[in-house]
Structure 1
């Protein structure tokens, strides 16, 4: 009897001790806060493709254009090389020169000799842009090639340079006709002068006879 009471008392005591432990285990446990190990990095910068433009596609010799470059490296030196290609002579569509007598003579185009390539430099700003004025000294189709020294980025553009407008040349036939006309006028004036002198002399003799 005593033994069974002792066993019952131990059982009740163990049950009383186990109840708070189970209740604590049943309560929700706080979750650990996430640990930030790396700082978020911005996406890598990808510059726009390089470009090179001129403010006027066609000019006459002696005029100035402005070259504008974008998309190069910031604060870098850009090498610009100019190659010259002769313009095709419009022999078929060129209007012939006309003589004063109405006949025509074909104009012979002057052949253009291509010069050696030219070169110069430009400096970009913090945004990789530059502007550079340029005054060609030759005619033809000019191709500009810009290359960044550090970035290696390259862009090209073209410019057509025409010769200055020249007056039509005066041919030998054009000179001969005005000279003939002038000589005829001088001769007619001389004849009229002689006739006037003769008429005055005749009038004088007639008056003396009366």
Structure 2
């Protein structure tokens, strides 16, 4: 009799312990979210952009080619030009040198077209572009290119020198041709006089015979 009571008590105890465990197992578990998106990479991987010119130094009136790489594909690139003028010589204009070593001031040359200081370029699928530019001023030019979507930026520098000018015609340079021409005229006059004298002598000599 006691053994049966002990067995019954153990059975009831096990049943009491098992009820909370079964109740916890019966509760619904949160399902994993199927709408969680994986992290997206940035639209443009970090790549250094570059901007170069085909010639570091040109003369005023010549054209330079800008080449940009490393920008976003099919992107609009804004290009800004800043100009730092050369240090002006005394008198404001570079003088021309005469043949005797002295100098004479040169008049400035006026250019009709004015090159823009802000323009745009468009990249291809590889993020590259080429653009021609014809400066209208002399000095140190700095080109700064910035991609509108990628935000990448790059710079390039260019030196634009004064266009080569022929030496001006001055009083000293005119004097030399005048002197040379006068000498030739004098020599011609002497030759003419000698020819006339020779003909006259021949004439009188022929009469004497």
Tell me, which stretches of 5 or more residues in structure 1 are unaligned? 1-36
- Alpha-carbon deviation of 1:63? 2.7
Aligned to 1:97: 97
TM-score, normalised relative to structure 1: 0.66
Out of 44-53 and 183-192, give the one that drifted further. 44-53
Tell me, which stretches of 5 or more residues in structure 2 are unaligned? 1-33
Count of equivalent residues: 169
> Which one has a bigger Cα radius of gyration?
1
Judging changes above 3 Å, is the alpha-carbon distance between structure 1 residues 46 and 127 closer, same or farther for their aligned structure 2 residues?
same
- Alpha-carbon deviation of 1:76? 1.6
* 2:69–2:127 CA contact under 8 A, matched in 1: yes
Aligned to 1:50: 49
Q: Which structure 2 residues correspond to residues 1-210 of structure 1 after superposition, within 5 A?
A: 46-89=45-88, 97-99=97-99, 103-108=100-105, 118-210=117-209
Secondary structure of the residue aligned to 1:185 is helix
* 2:115–2:134 CA contact under 8 A, matched in 1: no
CA distance in 2, matches of 1:43, 1:119: 33
- Alpha-carbon deviation of 1:176? 0.9
Secondary structure of the residue aligned to 1:197 is helix
Aligned to 2:29: none
Judging changes above 3 Å, is the alpha-carbon distance between structure 1 residues 134 and 191 closer, same or farther for their aligned structure 2 residues?
same
- Alpha-carbon deviation of 1:87? 2.3
